[in-house]
Amino acid sequence: MAREVPEINGGSLADIAFLLLIFFLVATTMDIDTGITRLLPPEPEKDQQTEVRVNKRNVLVVLINRSDRLMVGGEEMDPSYLKAKTLEFFTNPANNPNLPEMEETEIQFPPGSSPLLPPDGVWRGLVSKGVISLQNDRSTTYGRYLQIQNELVAAVNELRNDFCELYFDKSFDELNTSDPYEEEIYDGIRNIYKMNISESEPKNIEGLN
Amino acid sequence: MSKFRRKKGKGLQRINTASLPDIVFMLLFFFMVSTTMRETEVQVRVTVPEATEVKKLEKKSLVSYIYIGRPVSHVARMYGTEPLIQLNDKLINEEGIPYESVQDFVLFEREKLPEVDKNRMTMSLRIDQNIPMGKVDDVKQALRRAKALIINYSARKEYQEQGRRR
């Protein structure tokens, strides 16, 4: 003789679930942080001589003054031209003696990864020795500073992306660095086009008004 | 006598709501899985600048936040309107370059990470676009001394009008 089990009224279940739902909607966030990732240079040791001799042609000085005006390589410039200037600086297409030296380099890629590479996967070509020195005043606004950083990073990213699309038929952003094969490609390209942006020790720049 | 006789029971057909809890639970689980708890209350006003080359920060557990901005109104009553630095959820009030606060903060945050990730800790700098760089340089110097070298300049994605070349 089966005893009848009293049925539980499920009418309020929806209300309870709604309440929980609203709690989670309010108490949690979904936003993923985006930004430009950079590496700070380590702090120099006390006794370490920080001055490094660099050939003058290999350095592009980018100054932002206290009224947010930009000076590149000794002349005032509108930020919209900075990317083109950086591209020219890093590639030195006309072998101009005032632009950085290019160094013959061999970079190892995975063998057989691209039809444009020899079968052993070694890329031989010219790598720029150029360094960009970015300097700002204490009164420069952060917005302008990041805009300039962005232009510099954009130039290097474009070089990397073009190389990656030419050789591997893929955009640089799509390389999956958790896969060792693609990571080798990623590191190789990063060594061809280095993000050589040095930030000087902070100091006050005289106004260039 | 009309052929089209009105139906007897007026009023709307009742919608069967038996599956409503299931639907709501599904939504609930979606939100539980895809979101994270709000941990900090930002006490400074931050509008991050726009940039085109932004990337997503992959592992959220590795990221600590540093906010720099002018304080919101109820905080401004206590601290004034000068730009302030907030480390995760703590406002700091240190004269000059905040070496000590940042050092403590970095050590505390690094302690929370598993051993393998200790040197992959990322500091995300969420800085208002109108803040003068002096404050930012101070924080960067302090981070260098604290050996937290991976930083992220937080920015919103800006879409170019003319689009990329390809």
Q: Output the domain CATH number for residue B127.
A: 3.30.420.270
In a domain, B1, yes or no: no
Which residue's structure tokens are 């932002």?
A64
For A39, name the nearest residue in chain B, comparing CA atoms only: B150
Any domain includes B42: no
Reading the block at residue A180, the tokens are: 């060792």
Average pLDDT of span A88-98: 84
Total number of domains in chain B: 1
A96 and A125 in contact (C-beta within 8 Å)? no
Tell me, what's the pLDDT at A206? Answer: 47
In chain B, whose CA is at the least distance from the CA of A170?
Answer: B166
Judged against a pLDDT cut of 60, whether residue A13 lies above it is answered with yes
Closest CB from B57, B132, B143 relative to A138: B132
Residue B112 lies in a domain: yes
Name which of B119, B45, B104, B118 is nearest B75 in CA terms. B45
Predicted-assembly ipTM surpassing the 0.85 threshold:
no
Domain that holds residue B76: 50-157
B residues 51-90 lying closer than 8 A (beta carbon) to A? 51-57, 60, 63, 65, 68
Please count the CA atoms within 13 angstroms of the CA of A125 that sit on its side-chain side.
Answer: 18
Q: pLDDT tens across A142-201, in order? A: 999 999 999 999 999 999 999 898 888 888 888 887 888 888 888 888 888 888 888 776
pLDDT tens by residue, chain B, 166 residues: 556 766 555 677 888 888 888 888 898 898 888 887 777 788 888 888 998 888 888 787 888 889 999 988 888 888 888 888 888 888 887 777 788 888 889 999 888 888 888 888 999 999 999 999 888 888 888 898 888 889 999 998 887 655 444 3
Is residue A104 within 8 angstroms of chain B, CB to CB? no
Per-residue pLDDT, A198: 82
Burial B3-37 (b: 16+ CB within 10 A, else e): eeeeeeeeeeeeeeeeebbeebbebbeebeeeeee
